[in-house]
Structure 1
Amino acid sequence: MTDTIRDPHADKTRDALAAAHLYYLQDLTMDAIASELNTSRSSVSRLLSFARSTGLVDIQIKSPLSGITHLQNEIQNRYTVTAHIVPVPDHASEVDRLERVALSAARILGSFIDSNMTMGIAWGSTMTAMSRHLVSKPIHNAQIVQLNGAANTRTTGIVYASEILRRFGDAYSAYVQYFPVPAFFDDPATKRALWQERSTRYVLGVQATMDIALFGIGSPDADVPSHVYTSGYLDDDDVRLLREENVVGDVATIFLREDGSWRDISLNARATGPDLDTLRQVARRVCVSSGTSKLLALKGALAAGLMTDIIIDESTARALLD
């Protein structure tokens, strides 16, 4: 006869579900729940917090009378995208603004991804922040694929990019497919040659099967510095060339102008990010951005038709419509 070992995590999940049902569906007070579950009020509070943080409870606020709903409708009408607007006070710092948007985006993303899906992720400051707030959603047969290389002349970029993707993989019980190439090649011919290699073509093939593409907006003028512009990916000549070609930002290290054009920008021939024509074929393309300092780059991405969903703060939403 063997002893049965109980899983304490399963017990906590069961108790959290019970508390959530009583609180959200039966309108019992915390004191009443504590009495029914034979525990303390503070324990009930912790169980409800656990239920929210682990995705057992999904709270949504929908108000047809709110100003945010009006902004969402206006952005939908003007840009033909679904807007998810995060309330952030105007006086908030850019760092706090990024964290709030990233937190909300992490919650929203869970409703987009499901079993048997492939999601492509472009590394960057916004994805780093978002990866810290992901809510666990165990699904099966899901895959995460890296959209752009991360190496430069100072670092392989493996630690930086892999940590971001690992967090997404852990949150969704998904297999992670890395893309171990530089962010930018020195010579376009080198890129063309490597793109013929079977190992590279395999990753490109996985990218081509994406159900969701997730990315931020890079900008050389962002108040919270975009990683590609501050971490050794571009030298002085590159920066000068971007200015001369009127580049306002990038998506997955593919540069673009405010009018949405990108095909004739010199550095894109050396970049390892996805071809934007290919990206536009993905069924759901989720852009997460915060702060009006990225406004020109955001307008460029919208003009290029790169997104189906946009998750932004309220100030940036108003600026888009100004």
Structure 2
Amino acid sequence: MVKIARLYYEFGYKQEEIAKMEGLSKAKVSRLLDKAHKEGIVEIKVVYPQQEVRELAKELSNHFGLKKVVVVPVIVDHPDAVRNDLGKAVANFLHEIIQKNDVLGVSWGTTLPFVTKQLSTVEGKDITVVQLNGGVTKNYLASQSGIIVEGFVHAFQATPYMLPVPTIVDSIELATAIVNDSNVKQAMILAKQARIALFGIGRASYDSVLVEAGYFKKGKYDELLAKGAVGDICSRFFRLDGSIVDEELNQRTVGIGLEELANKEYSIAVANGEEKAAAIIGALRGKYVNTLFIDEAAAQKCLELIN
């Protein structure tokens, strides 16, 4: 299998030529090549330049007064392909701005794992990585919070500070007690001190990570949507104008406040898909974001909604 794979991929022999050389049928050669790929003997990597849709980025930046906007083109119309391109763009930007002794705050969601996959290893900068909001859920895999933090810690050889608590709890009193725990308090202090915050923008819908994680029963989520929720950042819900949807729910949420994100030197949001447009606009109108990474489809839909 290795021999056939090398002949085909490294030395450019055609399958017919390999079949003749090895005394095999062409179909057998094809099956072995497929098996080599599935077993990881062959890895295929498409290398292409990172492009931006600059006109869309400029319009969004001017309209909302943002520090930086990157809009990646939709080369392949598949969510994971788009997230991979966004991940590459965000990772490159982080490597540009990260400084010695920085504190980097990260949230969780479906897009951030694609950022960690694209990070290069950085040593000797004494970075601290802190989780911005609680990540323990009934469905542990829903948030991927531990995996995401570990990815950043590994890339930056950083010191981690986790928030091993639920992101939304049953009462304000319980949230207050959790935040006052010494271990949680240290992480919260670091989250406030972080020069850079990186997070996804969630869409208020029944396929939300927070719904999948078991934080809401259908009736309660219906109430949230009826109050005008369009999206969330760090599990805190806002309307299209950026205002907080439910103050009582907001006080039951464990993690950094949206007003604190607004004061960061780099408050970096990443989101993909035109269905996220209303959530993106709400986040921008609330001024919780100053640096935005989105895809072409999301950018076009945002501009349609604001024009």
TM-score, reference length from structure 1:
0.73
> Which of the numbers 210, 233, 254 marks the counterpart of 2:236?
254
CA distance in 2, matches of 1:307, 1:293: 18
Structure 1, unmatched stretches of 5+, are 1-52, 54-58
Say if 1:238 and 1:267, in contact at 8 Å, map to a contact too: no
Give, in whole Å, the separation in 1 of the partners of 2:61 and 2:158.
31
Kept in 1: contact 2:109–2:143 (CA 8 A): no
1:228 equivalenced with 2:210 (yes/no): yes
> 1:84 deviation in Å?
0.9
The CA deviation string for residues 217-236 of structure 1, in whole angstroms up to 9 with x for no partner, is 111349xx542232322222
The one of 285, 289, 304 equivalent to 2:271 is: 289
Contact persistence 2:201–2:231 (CA under 8 A): yes
Q: What is the DSSP-based 3-state SS (H/G/I as helix, E as strand, rest coil) of the residue aligned with 2:144? A: helix
Contact 1:116 1:141 in 2 (8 A): yes
- Work out which of the residue numbers 96, 100, 104 in structure 2 matches 1:119: 104
1:190 and 1:285, CA in 2 relative to 1: closer, same or farther beyond 3 A? same
Segments of structure 2 that go 5 or more residues without pairing to the other structure are 1-46
- Paired residues, number: 256
Q: Give yes or no for the alignment of 1:305 onto 2:275.
A: no
Residue 73 of structure 2 corresponds to which residue in structure 1?
87
- Provide the residue aligned with 1:78 in structure 2: 63
Structure-2 residue corresponding to 1:274: 256
Instruction: Give the Cα separation in 1 of the matches to 2:174 and 2:220.
Output: 18
Q: Summarize deviations over 1:288-309 as a string: whole Å, max 9, x none.
A: 1111111111111001101111
Q: What amino acid does structure 2 have at the position aligned with 1:86? A: V
Whole-Å separation in 2 of the counterparts to 1:60 and 1:184: 37
- In 1, the alpha carbon distance for the partners of 2:214 and 2:262 equals 29
- CA 1:301 to 1:193, structure 2 compared with 1: closer, same or farther past 3 Å? same
Q: Is the 8 A contact 2:137 2:143 kept in 1?
A: no
Task: Report matched runs for 1:162-181 at 5 Å.
Answer: 162-181=146-165
1:317 pairs with 267, 276, 299, which one?
299
Match of 1:218 among 187, 190, 202: 202
Is the Cα contact below 8 Å between 2:273 and 2:297 reproduced in 1?
yes
Asked if 1 retains the 8 angstrom alpha-carbon contact of 2:135 and 2:143, the reply is no
Q: TM-score, normalised by structure 2?
A: 0.77
CA contact (8 A) 2:71 2:299 kept: yes
Alpha-carbon shift at residue 198 of structure 1 (Å): 2.5
Partner of 1:191: 175
Match of 1:182 in 2: 166
User: Deviation of residue 187 (structure 1)?
Assistant: 1.1
Aligned-pair CA distance for 1:154: 4.5
Give yes or no for contact 2:179–2:254 (8 Å, CA) kept in 1.
Answer: no
The one-letter code of the counterpart of 1:291 is: G
RMSD (CA atoms): 2.3
- Could you tell me whether the CA contact under 8 Å between 2:54 and 2:70 is conserved in 1? no
